[in-house]
Structure 1
Amino acid sequence: MGRGGDGPLAVEDPRIEWLRSKTCSSLGIEEEDFNSLVNSEEKLAVFTPFLEGGAEEGTGENQSQLPQPKEPKEVKVAKVEMVKLHLREKVERKNLRARKEKVARHPSRRRRSPPQSTTGGDPSPAPPPKPKAVLKVALHHLPDSVVSKPAVYFLKLDAAARLEEEQMDELVDYGLLSEGPALSVLEEVLSQVYIPMLQLYGSGKPGANQINHDSSSADNSRNELLGNVQKFASQVSHAIQQLTGDIHLNIPNVLIDNLHKAADDYDIVSQLESALAEWTAVLASAIQRESEKVAVGKGPLAEIDFWRERNAALSSLYEQLNLPNVKRMVSVVETGSGDTNLLTSFKSQFGELTKLYVEAKDNVKFLTTLERHFKNISSGTLTQVLESLPSMMNALRMVWIISRHYSDDTRMGSLFERIANEIGDTVAEEIDVKVLFRMPPADATSKIELAKNVLEQWSEVYLKIREKIEISGRDARWEFDRKRLFDRTNYMASICGDLLQMVKVVDDFHKFLGPELKAVTGDSLGIDEVIQRVAAMVEPIENLAFDAFDKRYSSQWQGVDAKFTTDKEQIERATRAFIDTSFKKLRSAEGAFELLQNFKSIKSEGAINRQMMDKFNDILEQFSREIDTTREIFEANKHAPPVTRNQPPVAGAINWMRSLFQRIRKTMNRLTSEEDMLKEEAGHEVQRKYIALAKAMVVFEKHWFTQWRETVDNMAMQHLKQAIIKRETNEHGVSTVVVNFHPDLTRLIRETRYLDRMGFVIPDTALNVTLQEEKYHSVVEGLRSMLEHYHSVIGLCTGVEQNLLAKRLEKLEEILNPGFSPLNWNSLGIPDFVASCNKSINEFNSLVNQVQKNSSIIEKVVHTISVAVVVQEPPVAKSEESANLMDLQEFYEYIEKCRLDSVEELLHKYRTIAPLLGKIEEAVAGTNTARSPQLRAYYYYWERAIFQALNKMVLNGMKAFMGILNSRNARKSGPMGLKPPLFKVQSMLVHPEVVVQPPVTEVTKFLSRLVRNLVECTRPFVRWMDGTCLETPEQHVNNEDDEPVVFTFYWDVAANPAVIKTMLALNHTIQKTIAGVNRFMESWRKQQHLWKQDKNSVLDKFAARIPSCGEFEEKLSRYKKLANEIWEFPKFKDVDFIRISSYSLVASIRD
C-alpha cells in the first residue's frame, strides 16, 4: 500500500511506526497490543485526518482530494488535532489489589463496601492470566466512559499541515494522562506555580523611565488577575475537599419503582430498616465528631479552614441522603415500618445534620469573600495589610448583616479577635528590634511608621464602620469587647512610637557627629568616642531578653526606654561640652559656617542646634585669624612665591596669590549671605582686613605680569634664531647630539597659555609662538626621535664594529651638519632635514644588522670551539669484576676516537668563518676577496678570538682528563665517591720474575701520548695570512722532500704557560699512579722464595731422610695450607685509575 496523499495509509508507514513506538513506551505495552488498531484499512483510516491534515473527525472523504488551506495573512491560533489512545484493561489485577489495600487502611468503610463474591476451590489458586490490553482511538475528544483510564495524547502544532516522517518530533507533542481525577494536580499548579509567579512579578519595582499611569494600570490588572487566580484555587481546593469526603453510607441495592408495593414487601422494609438504623448511627457519630472539633490556629484563616473541613465532611453525607432513591427508601420505611422510634431518631439526626451542613455551607460562602483579605494580613507586606483594612472591614460589615451565624456578638467578636491577633503577629514579625538599628535610618523609620499606621488604622477603621452602623440605625450595633480587639494592637502601636523616637534620636546623633564636624574641629578621636557611646546606647534594645511587643513585659520595656532617655541626655551634655571646647580651637571658619547652615536642616531635639547657632562670634574671630594668617603667608613669600608642580614661574606666582585670596574670598562670600553677622563690630573689623589684603594682592599681580610682558618679545626672537641641534659633552667626556630647543621657549608657551586662561592680554610675539606650539612640538619630537634612533644605532656597534664602519659613520655625521648651521627654528626645511637624516640612519642600521647577523654566527662558532668536549669519560663498569674493565689499548682508542670526532666537527665549523667574513666584506667594502684592507683589524679581532677559544678548549680538555683521573683517587674523589678504575693490567709469573702486562713503560707512554694529543687538537686549525681571512698555504723549506711547514694554532697554544703547567700536572699525576703500581709489584717480589727454590732437590733431601708417614702427612699438610693461603690473596688491586689483576699470578704460584 502506498503512503501520503496518493493512497490510504499503510501499516509500514514510518509515521504509524513513530506513533506505535511512543504509545508502547508511554503505556508499557507490547507492539501486538497496538497492532489491533491498524490491522485493517478501515481502522487505519481513523489516523488519516491527523497524519494527512485537512479533514474533520468522521469524514469519509479521500484525503488526496481535499483542498489545501491557504496561508492566512494574520497569525491565528491553530486548531489542535488530538489523537488519544486509551488503555481499557491493562492492570485489572493491580487495581483490584489497590482497592483491597485501601479498604484495609480504612476499616470503618469495610462494612459499607459491597459484598465480594467468592468461589470455592484451592486456598492457594494459581495466579490468573495476564490481562490483555485493549486499545481505543479517538479524534478531538476523550469519551466520558474512559476519562479515568490511562491515555496517550498527540497534539499537532498545525492542524492543517501534513505530517512528514522527519517532522514528527518537531510538529507533534505527546504525553501521558495518568488515570484518576486531575483536580489535585490543578490545585498544585495554581498554588505552587501561578500564584507565586504573579506575587513575585508584583514585588518588582518599575523602572525610572516608566510612566506612572501605565505602571499603576499594570499593577491593577496584575492584582485583579492574582485575586481571580487565588479565588479559583480556593474553589478547586473546596471541590477536592467535597469530592474526597471519607464518610460513605452503605445504600442497599434496592430499586423502588412503586412506593406502596415496596412498603408491603416485608423483606424490603426489613432491609431498609436495617440500613436506616445504620445511617442513624453514622449520622450521630459524624455529628458528635464535628461538634467536638475546634478551629486549629489563632488567625482568621484557621476559621475558614475549620468551616471548609466541616462542610466537606458533612456535604457527602447530606448529598447521599438527598439522593432520590434514598428519599424513596425513607418514604418506604415511613409507610411500611411500625418502628416509630427508628424514624424519629433518624429524622432527628438528619435534621441536626441539615442544620450543621447549611450553617457550614453558609459560613464558607461568606468567609470566602473575606479569604483574600485574610491572606493579605497573614502573608502580605505591611503595605498590603494597610490597603486591605478598609475593604476587609466593609466585607465584615456585610457578613455581620447577612450571615445568621456571624450576626452573634460572641462569634463575630471571636472573628475580630482572630484578625487582631493576626495583624499583631504580622507587625511583630516585620519589626525586628535586633536588626532595626542596623538598617539605613530612612528604611527603619519608614518601616516603623508603616507598622504603627497599620496598628492605628485597625482601630480607626473599626470605629469608622461602627459609626456608620450606628448612624444608619438599620443594623445591629457592634458591641464587641474592645480590650480583646485593641488592647494588644494599641500597646504595639505605642511600642512602635517609642522605637520610632529612638531611631530618630540615633539618626540625629549620627548626622550631627558626621564628617563635617570632624573636618571643622579636627578632633576625630573625640567625635569617635561620642559615636561609640551612641552605639552602646542601642545595645540594650538590640539584646532584649523578652518580646518588646508583649504587654506582659511592659514594666521591663519602660525600664529600657528610661535608660535610653538617660543615655541620650548624657550624650547631649557631653556633645554640648565637646562643641564648646572644639569651637575654641576652630581651624576653618568656612567649614564652621557651613556646618551651622547644615544644622538648620537637621531635625534634632534643639539643644545642640541652638548651641551651635550661638557660635557666630566665634566664627568671625576665627575668620579674622585666617585673614591674618593669609596676610603673613603672602608677605613672607611674595618675593619668591612657591609654584605648584608643572606651572611656569609667572603664572604660578599669580596662581599662588589667587589661591590664597580664593580661600578667604569663599568664606567672605558665605558670611556676606548672613547680613546680621557683619553688622556687629567684629564683622566690620573682618571687612576692613579683607579689603586691605585684596588691594595688596592686586598690586602683586600687576607687578609680576608687567615685568614678564616687557621682556618676553626679545627673549622669544633670540631663541628662535638658534640652531636646531647642538653637541653636548657629559661628565664622562662623551659627546652627544641633542635638540637645541631652549627651555625658555617652552616656558614662554606655558606662561602664555596659563596667563591667557587667567584673562591677561598677551603680547603678539608670545601669542604667535604659542599658536605654533603644535608645530614646534612636532618638530622637536621628530628631531628627538631621529637623534634617539641615531644614538641607538651607534650604540649597537661594538668597538671593533665602529672601527670597521668608520667611513660610514663619517658620512652619517656629515648628514647632521645642516642642523648645526644654517637651520634655525624659523627655517622651513626642518622636516626635509629630518627625513634625510632618518633615511641615512636607516641605511646605516641595515648595514649594522647585516654585519651583526654574520658576526653572531661567527660568535656561536667561536663559543662552540671554546666549550667543546674533547675528552669524554669512558662508561663506568657495572661490576667489580676485572673482566668488565677495558684494557689499556681499548681505553686509549676510546679516548682518541672521542677526541678526533670532536675535532673533526669543530674543524668543519671553523672553516665556515671565512665565508661569513666574506659576506661582511661584501656588505661593508663592496668586495669579496677575503683580504680587504678595510677589514684588516676585523680579521685580526676574530683570529685572536679563535686563538683564545682554542686555548680554552685545550685547557678544559686537560682539566676534564685530570678530573677523570682524580675521581679514581681516594684522596681527591670528592663528594661523588670513588669511581672504578679506567683500565686494567695483568700481573703474572714469568719464571723466575713477576711482571706486569702490558709493561709499566708502555702504560706511561700511552697516557703521556693522550696528554700530548690534547694539544694536538689545535694542529688542524690553520692560521690566516696577515691582513686576510685566508688559510696559510703549506711552506716548503730548503729541500722539497722535507715535510712542508703549516702555520697552525698548535705552536701558539703549545707555548701557552697555562697549557704547559696543566700538562706537567697531568704527567705528575700519571707518574704517581705508575709508582703505586711498581710498589704493589714489589710486594709480590718479596715472596719470590716460593717459586725460586728447586723443588726436586728439596724433595730428594726429604726423601733421603726416610721420613715416617707422620712426617709425610705433616709436610703435605703444611704445603696444602700454604697453597690455600696463597689462593686467598686478593685477585686484583686498584691503584687510582689502574686495576692490577693478580688472578693469573696467584694461580701460577699455587700450582
Structure 2
Amino acid sequence: MDDTRIEWMKHVIYKGLNLVDNDIFLEFLERNDNENELELAKFLNDSPKDEYQILIFYKTFYEEEVEEILEIPRKQSTNGVTDVDGEVQYEQTNNSLDNSEEMTTNQKQIPDEILTNNSNTNNNEMNEKGDDSLIDETDTSLKYTTIINRKTIWRTRLSMKNTSVDIEALTEEYVYFIRITKGYINAPNDLKQTFNFMPSQMQWGYMRGSFLQNLQNLLKQIYSPLLKDQQLMLHENNQYQQELEISEKDQLELNEKKRKEQQENEETKQIVETKDEFLINTRKFCRIVETTIHQLNSDIVLEVPNIDVTEDDLEIVKSSKFIIIEKTIISWNRQIRQTLDILLEKKPSDNSPLSLIDYWRDRNLILGTLIEQLKRSNVIRFYHLHQILENDTYSALFSETNSLYVQSRDNVKFLSLLERHFKTLTFGNKIESLIDIIHPLIQTFHMIWVLSRYYNHDENMVQLFERTALAITNRVIYTINFPNIFRSDLKQSISLMKTIINLLNHWKNVYYKKRSEIELIGRDARWEFDKIKLFNNTDYTCLICENLLEILITINDFRNIFNTKLKSITCDTKKIDEANQYMKINPFNKENKISWSEELEKFHNLVEHLEYKANTLINDSFKLLRSSESVFNVWCKFCHIKTRRKIHNLLNEKFIDILKQYEKELINISSIFHQNAILPPFYNNQQNNIILFIFNKFIPPISGLIQWVRYLLNYIKKPILKFLKINEFMKNDEGKSIRNQYIIIGKQMKNYEAQLYQYWLIQIEQSFDQYLNQTLLKQQQSTMITRISSLPISRLSLNSSSKSEQNTNELSRIAIQFSKYELLVNFHPNILVTITEAKHLEALGFKIPEIVINAVMKESSYIVYVEKLKFLVKRCHELFTQLDPVELTILESYIINLRTVMKPGWDILNWKSLGINEFITKVEEELNRFASMCNLCKKTAADIEARLELIGSADLFPTPKWTDEYQKTAMGEYFTCKEYFAQTVIERQKLFEELRTQHTSLTPLIIKLEGAITQQNTGNSKIMVPYFEYWEKKLFDRIYAMVIRNLQSYLNRISRQQEPLFAVDLMLAGTDVVGNPQPAELYRLVIQELRDAIESTRVFVRWYRGSCVIAPGVKIDGSEDLHYFTFYEEIAKSNEIADLVQQIAKVYANTVEKVKRFQDSWRKHKGKFVANKVSTINKKR
C-alpha cells in the first residue's frame, strides 16, 4: 500500500473494529474492481461536498463454502461410512473459522448451530487406478484414497458507506471519518508524519452499544459544559487601554478604536444571547432523548396470562384458573412495590429548580405508565376475582400508587407554571429580565401555596424557595464572571453590579411584601418560612456584590483621576497601579470569607493612602483632565465654524483657559523633570525603570535619559508651536509669559542633556580603558573538591622507592596549583553596555570618543573571543575532572605545557591586545594535544580493565567434558577419579595459557602509552612508575579475588552434594573388594588438585620494580631451574586462602572416610567370593 493516508485510516479502523488479518483490508480495496479504493481516493483528494463529508466503516460476516483435499488410508476406518464401491463419506466434526477474525465478546455472535457443525458431506467417486498421483500402486496394504471435503466457514468482510448504513448491515460498532478541511489532503512521506498530520485534517470516532445513550452522554457531559465555557469566554472584554499619545491623529485613532470595540461588544452580546437560546434548546433535546431512552428501556409491564375470565366469578374462583390469577397478582404487587420504592428513593439530580421539574416529570411519567396498565379491563378483572376470595391489600396499594400519581401530576402542572421563569433564571443574559420575573414568580409561588396539596407544607415550599434563591445566586455569580469583571469596561461593570444588587434586594423585598399582603388579608396560611434557608445565599451574595461595587467605583474614580497623562508625571506610579488591581480570591465561596475580609481591609488601607497623597497633588495641579493640545484641537474645529459673536467670544475666552492649562502642563513637566533628573543615571535605578516604562525596551542609562528628556521637551514643544500660529492671542501678556516659561524649561532640558553627555565622557575616561586593560582570563579558587588523592590501598605490598611514592601521592607544585584553580573569562559586562550606549548616542547626534569607536568596531570580535574562551575554559575543566590521580601524575608535563600556553591569558594579554586570536589558536592546539593524551589514557585503562576482567573471571576448577558420546558410553556417566583430575588439569592449563597471554599483553599496552607520553618505549620510565605500580596492584587484587571466589564456589559445590563430580570404582581382587584409587590415594589426588589450582597463578609473573616489563627467571644456587617471581608467593601467604583450602580438605576427608567404610562393609561377604564357583557347588552337593 503506497498511500500513507489510507494506511493511517487502516490503522484506525483495525484498532476500532478489532481486526488483525491484513487480507481483510486488501479484499476491501480490491472488491468490485477497486471500487472502494477509488472512493477512498476521492474522499482524500477532493473537497468534501454536502453529501460526501463522511465515511462509515463496519464489519459483517458471511458464509463461504471451501473445498479441501484429504488423503486417508484405504483400509483405515474413518469417521464416515465406506460404501461398497469404495466411495467414502467424510464428516467434518470440528469446523473453525479459518482465515477469519476471531470473535470477541463485544462483536456480533455467529449462531451456535453454525459454529458447532457447518460441514456438508458429499459423496465423491474417485478411480483408484485412474490417477497415479492419488494412489500408490507399490503396496496394496498402504494404498491411499483421496477425498474432497466441502465445509462452510465464516469470514469477515469490511464495508464502507458515505451516507447512512443499510438496515441489513446494522451492527453494534462503527468507525467513522469526517473531513474538516477542503481540497487535497497531502500525503506525508512516512507513517510517523502521517500519524501526526492526519488528525488535523479530519475527525474520526468509534461508536458502539446504545446510540441513544451515547448521544445523551455526549450532550450532557461534553457539549453542554463546553458551550457554557465558550459563552463565558465571550463575556470577557479586553483590558483597559491606556492613552499614551495625545496628538490629534492619535486621538482620532483612539476614538475609532473605541467605536469598533463597542460594535464588537454589541455583536458579542448578540452571540451570547444566541448561545443561551441554543443552550435552552439543547437542554430540551437532552430531555427528549432521556425520555425516549426511559420509554424504550421501561420494564413496567404487567404481563396478563392468556386465560378466559369471562365466566361467572364463583366458577372462576373455584376453578384451577384462580391459582394462575393468584400467582399473577402476587407478581404484579411485587413489581408495583419495587417500582414505588425506587421512585421514593430517587432524588433530583442537582439543586437547581429545573432539575426539580425534571424529577417530578420523570416520576409522573413512570407512575402514569403504571396507572394506565392498572386501568386495563383485564387487570381490573384479575384484581376483582382475587379480592373475592383473598380480601387482599390491593385497594391500599392501588390507592397509594394513585395518590403518588396524582401528587406528581399536580406538581408537574404547578411547576410547569414556573418553568419559563426558572429558565430565565438559569439561562437569561440580562439581569433586568430576572428582575422583571421576580414579582410574577412570587405570585405563582403564592398560587401554588394555596392550591397545591403538596406545596402547602412549609418544608416543601421552603425547598422550592431555596432552589429558586440558589438559581438566582448561581446566575448572578455566572454573570459577574469573577475576576474578569475587572477587565471589562468599568462603567458597564458598575452598572451591572448595581443591577445585580437591585435584583437580590428585589427578591427579598418582593417576598416580604407578598408575606405582608398574606398576613393583611388573613385568608390564607401565613408564610412562616426559615429566613436563613431563603435568604442566606442571596444576602451573602448581595454583600459581596456591594463590596465589588465599592471596589469598581473606587478603581473607576482613580482611573478618572490618575489618567495616563498624570501617571507619566507622578513619581509614585506603582501605588496607583496597585489601586487598579483586583482581588484574586473568589469571594462568592463562603470558605474564603475571612480571606476576603482581609483583602478588603488591605484595599481600604491602600485607598486611604492614595487618597491622602492624591488629593494634595490633584487639587493643586489640575482643573481639567484633558491635555491642552487636545482641547486646542477641539477649539480649532469650532473656530472654523461660523457662529454668533457671543459664541465666538466664548471661544476666545476658552483659549485663555487653554493657555492656563498649558501653563499647568509646563509646571508639571518641569516638576517631573527636576524630580527625576537629580541623581546620576548609573545610581538611580528608578530612572532606568521610568525609561523602560516609557519606551518598553532596553535602552542604556545615559542615552535612555537623553531620549526621556527629549520626549518631555517634545511633549511641551508640540502645543506651543500650534499656539504660536494664533498671533492675536500669543501677543498678549499671558501668551508672552507662557512662551518665556517654555524657553526657560527648554534651555534647562538642553543643559541637562549636555551634562549627561559630559558625565558619560568622564565615565569613559575613568573606567572604560581599565576594562579593556583587564587580562583575558582570571584564576579563581575552584568550588569543586579536587580529585587528587592517594591511590587505592591493595593487599600487595610493594617496596617502592621514595621518589615513586612522592610522585604517586602528590603532583608537582605547578600542576597542583593549576589543578586547584578554576579559570574564568575576565570580560567586564560594562564593555558591551558602553558599546551599546555609544551606538544610541551616535544615533542621537553625539560625538563618540575614539577609544569607544574602536571598541564598537571590535564588538563582534569581542563576542566571538568571549564565546571561544568560555568554551576552552569549560573544556579544560571537563578534562581535568575526568582524569584519575595517577593519570594526572603521568600527564604532569602536558599539564605544565598547557599552563605555559594559557599563562599569557591571565598575565600578559588584555582586550586591547592584537594577539588574542593567535592565543586562542595556541590554546586550542595545546588543549587538543592534552585531550588526545587524556583519551589515550582512558582507552588504555579500558583495555587493561578488559583483560583484568578476563583474569578475574577465570575458573580454577573447570568441569571436564566428554570428547565424544562413544567415550561417554564406554566410560559410564561420570569420569573416574583419576580421569576427572587429569581432564581438569588439562582444561586449567589451556585456560591459564590464555590468561598468560592476556597478562603478557599488558606490557605492550602500557609501553605504548609510555611511548606516547614520554617518547620512550623502555617500559621503565620514571614518570610512569606510579602508573606501573597502580596497575600491578589492581592486577594482584583481581587474581586474589579470583582465587577466593573459586575456592568459595568449589567449597559450596562439594558441600551441597547435589551432583557428583566423579566416580570411584570398586572392584573384586580375589576375595577382597578394593577401590581404584584407594581412599588414601583419593585424598592425595584431591589435595594435589587444590595445590595445582592455586599454583596455576604462577603464570602471572611479576614486573621489574619501577617497570612494566616482566621479570625473567633467576638462577638459584643448588637448583638448575630458574626461579620466577610471581603473584603465587603473595597468594600462598594469605590466611583467608589457607582457611578455605583447609575447609575443602576437611570435606573431602569426610567423603574419603565414607568411601573407606563402604569398601570395608564388603569384607563380611569375603567367603562368597571364590574363584571356581562350579567345583565348589559340586563339592557341597
- Structure 1 and Structure 2 fold alike (TM over 0.5): no
Query: Using CA pairs below 8 Å that are at least 6 residues apart, which structure has the higher relative contact order?
Result: 2
Per the normalisation by structure 1, the TM-score is 0.38
Per the normalisation by structure 2, the TM-score is 0.37
